Amino acid sequence: MNEAPSFSPVCPTPDKPGETVELGHGSGGRLTHDLIESVFRPAFAHCETDLTHDGAELEIGGARLAFTTDSYVVQPLFFPGGDIGTLAVNGTVNDLAMCGARPLALSCGFVIEEGYPLAELRRVAHSMQAAASATGVRLVAGDTKVVERGKGDGLYINTSGVGEIVAPLPVAPGRVRPGDAILLSGDIGRHGMAVMSAREDLGFDPPILSDCAALHSPVLRLIEEGIDIHCLRDCTRGGLATALIEIARSAGLAMKIEQNAVPVSEPVRGACEILGLDPLYVANEGRFVAILPGEQAEAALSVLRDFEQNAALIGMVEAGPEAVSLRTIGGSYALDFLSCEQLPRIC
């Protein structure tokens, strides 16, 4: 589990003289952070953008709003358990939920490649409508652009979202404290493995289904139950490990994670072993980490288990230098960002 992934990683060529964008810049890992720091932060420095987070908090006319954006370039467009449409709705609903917000409205921007079958576009539109209805969120604004053959890959979708923040106190890494409990909302690695199985025609039996789902209901229940959520993060690109590392760095604190406590289903574990992947770094689309006061861990876990039976307390926050360490049977290992792209275009 602590081995470097060996399945066709797409690494940047380190000695390349010309600076260009590489696939790894879209990984959500180290190169994405490099891109943000070297390109976007200098340009957007005066705009107060929190560039490491998809979501922003706005106060408009007395209302506390969350505003988020995400572009979806998953390949293939249809995979076991979902498609780019379900992903585009649920993913942005989840970005809003991770701000402690009730999702209200989404916009949809389509970039379609010339020649894309209208029948597939209809399927995707219906998936979006079904996901929106299930979530109670409205699709309120749209835009369609078409690009020439060979200038796209079927379909890219951007969804941006607006929600009303209902958490009474800020939900942000800055509120994480030593002694906080780290809860995980369910088993990990299913989305990444489902997409890989479809992309590489791996034909797992039984098939591994994506965990793609909206996460606002458990978050809103935690808030209703009076849990003082300090921080939330969905475990998408880069998986659980990347989410934890980002929070630890932003909070300037240490996290101790128990490997045995992290739920991984047998099919996912087996598939990861075959492919040489570490489930900790595999993308999820329906799992999140909640960090909250240790004394509320039990009550919070009971809420999360109403939604996913294998939600778990996976570790604790401690004082000390920012770091995430994983305790295994064989010892403790520091988790770090992957330096290259393990599974490109997973979302």
Q: Is 310 in the site for its own copies (CB under 8 A)?
A: no
Residues 59 and 65: beta-carbon distance below 8 Å = yes
Instruction: Tell me the per-residue interface mask from 54 to 93 with its own copies, x by CB under 8 A, - otherwise.
Output: xxx-x-xxxxxx-xxxxxxx--------------------
Structure tokens at 47: 């705009």
Residue from 1, 5, 11, 39 that binds its own copies (CB under 8 A)?
A: 39
Residue from 105, 134, 313, 323 that binds its own copies (CB under 8 A)?
A: 105
Q: Which of residues 164-203 bind its own copies (CB under 8 A)?
A: 164
Q: Which is nearer to its own copies, 73 or 301 (CB)?
A: 73
**How far lies 335's CA from each of 240, 243, 244, 282, 322, in Å?**
11, 11, 9, 14, 11
Across the beta sheet with 101-113, the strand order is: 55-60, 63-72, 155-165, 101-113, 138-147
Q: Is 118 in the site for its own copies (CB under 8 A)?
A: yes
Q: Is 15 in the site for its own copies (CB under 8 A)?
A: no
State in angstroms the smallest separation of the CB of 112 from its own copies.
5
Instruction: Tell me the per-residue interface mask from 124 to 163 with its own copies, x by CB under 8 A, - otherwise.
Output: -xx-xx--xx----xxxxxxxxxxx-xxxx--x-x-x-x-
Q: Is 14 in the site for its own copies (CB under 8 A)?
A: no
- Residue with token string 């749209």: 142
Q: Is 110 in the site for its own copies (CB under 8 A)?
A: yes
d(CA 235, CA 5): 18
Q: Which is nearer to its own copies, 51 or 220 (CB)?
A: 51
Q: Which is nearer to its own copies, 32 or 94 (CB)?
A: 32
State in angstroms the smallest separation of the CB of 199 from its own copies.
12
Q: Is 19 in the site for its own copies (CB under 8 A)?
A: yes
DSSP string, 99-114: TTEEEEEEEEEEEEET
Instruction: Report phi then psi at 262, rounded to 5.
Output: -85, 115
Q: What is the Cα gyration radius of the chain?
A: 19
Residues 88 and 72: beta-carbon distance below 8 Å = yes
State in angstroms the smallest separation of the CB of 208 from its own copies.
23
